[in-house]
Structure 1
Amino acid sequence: MDTFLISTGVVAVAEIGDKTQLLALILAARFRRPLPIILGIFVATVLNHFAAGWLGLQVAGLVSPAVLRWVIGLGFLAIAIWALIPDEMGEEEAQIKPYGAFLAAAVAFFLAEIGDKTQVVTVALALKYQPLWAVIAGTTLGMMIADVPAVFVGKWIAARMHILRYVRFVAAAVFALLGVLALLGIGG
């Protein structure tokens, strides 16, 4: 139980003010579908943190931080460019098809967590505490504690403002900034 509680607390605190909280807010403003977004965050976090814990134990030290920084930075820049491409479907279609919100949240969160401080914390916790499932369950709960409120704040803002047409520009700017910061080795 200590492993679970320590993992939950450490990640919940580490996630406060993290880029994924902003990502949750942006996704909620775009899709206005909290449940699929929350499920996407959950699935992405479980997969990412399991991979971090397991692979961190198996291949620690094989990939240099410089290579990882470039992969993450270029990935964020590619997502920024992709975010500038207007959607082909209307707002009504986005609300009818909740799997779009789920997939967007799952993919975006999985990618955003690669090399993020909470992923690094998950690796460290997995190295120090056992069993691995308790670390993963705790880090996942910590992420949900920090990011779920951002989903509801984003939905609330979107319901009161007509910002939907600007969300892709904000998202592109955020991902471009994250890409540049990753390339420069700043933040994370």
Structure 2
Amino acid sequence: MDALMAGLVLGALCVAGDRTPWLAAILADRYRAARGLVIAAAALAFLGNYMLGALGGILVAPLLSPEARGLLLALSLILAGLGVSWRQKAPDRLTGWRLGPFGTSALGLAIMIFGDRMQLVAAALAARTPLPWLAAAGATLGALAVVVPAIVIGEARWMALPRRLICIASAAILTLSGVIIGLRSIALI
């Protein structure tokens, strides 16, 4: 159950400082009558990518000591914190894509999510737990906790939020958590 809750919190923190909700809001504005399909597509894209991350964690876990697993999580959180702190450029609006609301949203978001910071964090969480799939489920729920409101309010209102402040706060929490976990892993605190 720890992996589920950790994944939920970390998923929300990582995605809050990401371009993914921005793209989801753009797609929701384009497909106003099919916002439910955009939400379903986002859920599928997140779950698929974070399951791949968890699979990576399952594969690497037997090769690592418990301390190394803690250091992997610490490193992934520090890198996620650094990544969240960078300025974001606007995502591609996918205007040329003609796959319909579900296809465009699922494929566009899946491509954007593939290899993102939370996928690495999900892998590191999965490597540390006896129930690795809960890390992917928690990460998906946490990401959706940020993306669904972006879809509901649309791009203009999403962009009006204090996104820079959100990114700085997310970066600070992720980085500090990574440092603390890393120091605990090597028994310095």
TM-score range (shorter-chain normalised) is 0.5 to 0.7
Deviation track 1:55-89 (CA, whole Å, cap 9, x = no partner) reads 344379xxxxxxxxxxxxxxxxxx95x935386xx
Deviation track 1:34-63 (CA, whole Å, cap 9, x = no partner) reads 100000011111111111210344379xxx
Contact residue 126 and residue 132 of structure 2 kept, 8 A: yes
Equivalent position to 2:96, from 58, 71, 85? 85
Distance (whole Å) between structure 2 residues aligned to residue 84 and residue 2 of structure 1: 40
Distance (whole Å) between structure 1 residues aligned to residue 10 and residue 103 of structure 2: 27
- In the alignment, structure 1 segments of 5+ residues that lack a partner are 61-78, 88-98, 158-188
Q: Give the structure 1 partner of residue 100 of structure 2.
A: 100
RMSD: 2.6
Contact residue 53 and residue 123 of structure 1 kept, 8 A: yes
* TM alignment of 1:98-137, pairs within 5 A: 100-137=100-137
Contact residue 58 and residue 132 of structure 2 kept, 8 A: no
Distance (whole Å) between structure 2 residues aligned to residue 86 and residue 108 of structure 1: 9
Q: Give the structure 2 partner of residue 3 of structure 1.
A: 3
Q: Give the structure 1 partner of residue 50 of structure 2.
A: 49
**Which amino acid is the alignment partner of residue 85 of structure 1?**
G
How far residue 132 of structure 1 moved from its aligned partner, in angstroms, is: 1.6
How far residue 100 of structure 1 moved from its aligned partner, in angstroms, is: 1.7
Q: Give the structure 1 partner of residue 41 of structure 2.
A: 40
Contact residue 34 and residue 155 of structure 1 kept, 8 A: no
How far residue 116 of structure 1 moved from its aligned partner, in angstroms, is: 0.8
Distance (whole Å) between structure 2 residues aligned to residue 153 and residue 84 of structure 1: 20
How far residue 155 of structure 1 moved from its aligned partner, in angstroms, is: 7.4
Q: 1:11 to 1:84 in 2, by over 3 A?
A: closer
Q: Is 1:139 aligned to residue 150 of structure 2?
A: no
Q: Give the structure 2 partner of residue 21 of structure 1.
A: 21
Q: 1:86 to 1:50 in 2, by over 3 A?
A: closer
How far residue 9 of structure 1 moved from its aligned partner, in angstroms, is: 0.7
TM-score (structure 2 length as normaliser): 0.60
- In the alignment, structure 2 segments of 5+ residues that lack a partner are 62-90, 158-189
Distance (whole Å) between structure 1 residues aligned to residue 58 and residue 142 of structure 2: 21
Distance (whole Å) between structure 1 residues aligned to residue 38 and residue 96 of structure 2: 21
Q: Report how many residues are paired.
A: 127
Provide runs of 4+ in structure 1 moved above 3 Å. Answer: 82-87
Q: Percent identity?
A: 31
Distance (whole Å) between structure 2 residues aligned to residue 125 and residue 86 of structure 1: 34
Distance (whole Å) between structure 1 residues aligned to residue 97 and residue 51 of structure 2: 33
Does the residue aligned with 1:83 lie in a helix, a strand or coil? coil
Q: 1:56 to 1:86 in 2, by over 3 A?
A: closer
